[in-house]
Amino acid sequence: MIGNWKMHTTPSEARELARELRERLDGIREADIAVCPPATSIAAVAEALTGSNIAWGAQNAHWAQTGAFTGEISTSALKELGCTYVIVGHSERRHVFGESDEMVAKRLARVIASGLVPILCVGETEQERQQGQTDEVLRRQLELACADIEEPPAIAAYEPVWAIGTGRRAEIGDVETVHRFIRERLAARFGSKAEGIRILYGGSLKPANVADLASSEEFDGGLVGGASLSAASFAELIARAIERRNH
């Protein structure tokens, strides 16, 4: 279960939120838990979470090791800050900032080479869905994102763009179908190396709507935006998912 804090929290707010999460989630071993604060808050979060069962990560990383790339963030800096994960190809990067599949591929290759764990995001827009292009879009995003790598990304996230921040979580049947499709595409590309890949769902995931997904074999976890910004709701979401999984 990974919280994507997007551009929310200043360093002091992030420290507070991380401390509260640590209190609420202390001792949970049934789920791998992480938060991805804005880059400017990673150091504060690292300080608050060191020695806990909660890992942390970044929301993006550049493909070069260092250099003249104003505004970008290097994987070596993220490693020094103790990050485990890096989100790659989030739809807000693709659609708001115009990141191409080629950029996503280069970022993904660097993250893997650096030893950080990528969370490769893919997902169709509302229009693409209505036009019946979901499979085609996902196939393209996966194929192009993986163009420069020999090892598959350890984690992929299916995030339908129309479900992000809208309150409209995708239906379980659609999530299962797409997760299966992603697994098949990655298996076709990477063979047996793709076997352990974990596939997360993201898009308006909340404590109140996690249970049916959590009971599905196709759901390996969630990438959670809005509901991860309150320690109470993120903790409740994780607790409900674990409870459902165990029954």
Residue 44 burial (C-beta neighbours within 10 Å; 0-12, 13-18, 19+):
buried
Half-sphere exposure of residue 86: CA atoms within 13 angstroms, side-chain side: 30
Instruction: Answer yes or no: 159 catalytic.
Output: yes
Q: Please give the residues from 27 up to 46 whose contact with ligand PGA meets the rule CB under 6 A.
A: none
Subset of 161-190 contacting ligand PGA (CB under 6 A):
164-165
Give CA–CA dist 225/163, Å, rounded: 11
Minimum CB distance to ligand PGA, residue 216 (Å):
18
Catalytic entry in 99, 124, 128, 159: 159
Q: Is 226 in the site for ligand PGA (CB under 6 A)?
A: yes
Give the contact letters, 186-225, x = binds to ligand PGA (CB under 6 A), - = no.
Answer: ----------------xxxx-----------------xxx
Sites for ligand PGA among residues 133-162 (CB under 6 A) = 159
User: Which one, 128 or 159, has the nearer CB to ligand PGA?
Assistant: 159
Nearest C-alpha neighbor of 127 from the set 92, 93, 162: 162
Distance of closest approach, residue 183 Cβ to ligand PGA, in angstroms: 20
Considering only residues 4, 9, 59, 74, which one is a binding residue for ligand PGA as defined by CB under 6 A? 4
Catalytic residue among 62, 90, 128, 179: 90
| Contact yes or no for 186/227 (Cβ under 8 A) | no
Cα–Cα dist 225/15, whole Å: 17
User: Min. distance of Cβ 2 from ligand PGA in angstroms?
Assistant: 8
* Total Cβ atoms within 10 A of residue 66: 11
45 vs 227, which CB is nearer to ligand PGA?
227
Spatial neighbors of 112 by CB under 8 A, at least 6 apart, are: 118, 149, 151, 153
Give kind and range of the element (H or E) at residue 221. strand 221-224
**Among 51, 26, 111, 89, residue whose Cα is nearest residue 223:** 89
CA gap 1, 57 in Å, rounded: 12
Q: In the bound complex, what is the minimum distance in angstroms from residue 229's beta carbon to ligand PGA?
A: 8
Q: How far is the CB of 22 from ligand PGA (least distance, A)?
A: 21
Which is nearer to ligand PGA, 118 or 225 (by Cβ)? Answer: 225
Residues in the interface with ligand PGA (CB under 6 A) total 13
Name residue 222's amino acid: G
Residues identified as active-site? 90, 159
Binding-site ranges for ligand PGA (CB under 6 A): 4, 159, 164-165, 202-205, 223-227
